[in-house]
Structure 1
Amino acid sequence: MTRITVSVDGASYADDVEPRMLLVHYLREVLGKVGTVVGCDTSNCGACTVHLDGRSVKSCTVLAVQADGHEVTTIEGLATGGGLHPMQAAFHDNHALQCGYCTPGMIMQAVDLLRENPHPSEEEIRTGLEGNLCRCTGYHNIVKAVAAAAESMAGEGSVAR
């Protein structure tokens, strides 16, 4: 076992973990952060996307020990102050989900996309999300939601986090 200390959604945790434990399993099984879902375990689908020190990563490709001393934000920690994050609200308002399985990872990737490019074109949104798969929606409303969130966040002067 290896002792790790990690900040997850603003709270500090210290736990003993197996060195081979994936971050996605640590988040779900140890911390109960079940909004981060296991999709494929091969990094193909992006359903497990979280932010590690503010950058999106597929948590099925990161060992929990690699997060030691770092900050992780999950879909549960994205909203602050009791309201939805603008990206979460945009997904809701634009009907950008069907089964919802890909939604947490898609939102986390989209937030990172807007952090890097606050005013993306439709093509840039599609390119920025291409590592995240959705089997239900055809992506039209997802792209629409990301564009709406970009507009909303620009209007509020928000910085994607």
Structure 2
Amino acid sequence: MMTSTADIQRIFVDTSAWIDLMNKNERNHAEAIQFHKNLSPLTLRITSWGIVSETFTWIRYHIGGQEAFRWLSMKESLEQQGFLQIVFPDAQMEIGVRKVIDRFRDQALSYVDAFSIALVQSRPDIDAIFAFDHHMILAGRPVLPGLLE
């Protein structure tokens, strides 16, 4: 059981966290920044290709192209330094996604949400989820810094 952010070795980063980190106008921006600063520099951040796509698109449409490309450069730098791992879809994960969608039919999950949940459930090495999206609790891991709605 985790007692602090220092105990987190691997954390899954959702679109909602990336957006809140990048957008000063987001309600959870300050909390996202503080939480991210409190993570150990050695904590591996894990995200998916779908989240990269969602995040880049959201930032480009809502903040602007310059900020979207700045985020993309930051993401690539984190990858090159070994602090960020991007998970790409494969045929096996598609089976897991379908199971999540079938299991949670009563939830308004996006396909990327379902992929994220399936990914986290398939990876026991992921300690927590950095998100502000209430759907992420369906993955069965702590959602940090905590749901605010």
- When normalised by structure 1's length, the TM-score is 0.31
Question: Which has the bigger relative contact order, CA under 8 A and spacing at least 6?
Answer: 2
Give the structure with higher Rg (CA): 1
Structure with the higher helix share, 1 or 2: 2
So what's the TM-score if we normalise by structure 2? Answer: 0.33
